[in-house]
Structure 1
C-alpha cells in the first residue's frame, strides 16, 4: 500500500498534548499510527477488528 497517499486524521478529542494516534481508512482496512512518529510503523486492522476494538473501548473494557 502506498502510505504517502493515505489520508490520516487525528481525533478531534486529542487536545494539544501531542499524545495521539491518527487513523486512516483506505479500502478494506483501518490503519493506526502514532501522531508523534508519522514516519514510524502503522498498524492495520480489518474493519471488523476495528469495530470490535471501538466497541470495547466504549464499553469501558480498556480502562486502567
Structure 2
C-alpha cells in the first residue's frame, strides 16, 4: 500500500505533480516536511497554470 501523499491546506496535488514528487525520495521527504500551508503555495502555483505546457514546466521547476 502506498503512503498517503501530503496535501496542501486548501489545494490537492494532481496525479502528475504527485508522481513527479514521488520519483525522488529526497524530494518526497522535503515535500512532507513542508507545512500544509507551504505545500498549498506550491500547489496553487501549479494549479493556476492556464495551459498544460505551463503546468508541466512548473512541475519540472518544482522538482
- Asked if Structure 1 and Structure 2 have the same fold, meaning a TM-score greater than 0.5 normalized by the shorter chain, the answer is no
Structure-1-length-normalised TM-score:
0.37
Structure-2-length-normalised TM-score:
0.37
| Larger helix proportion of the pair | 2
Larger Rg: 1
| Larger strand proportion of the pair | 1
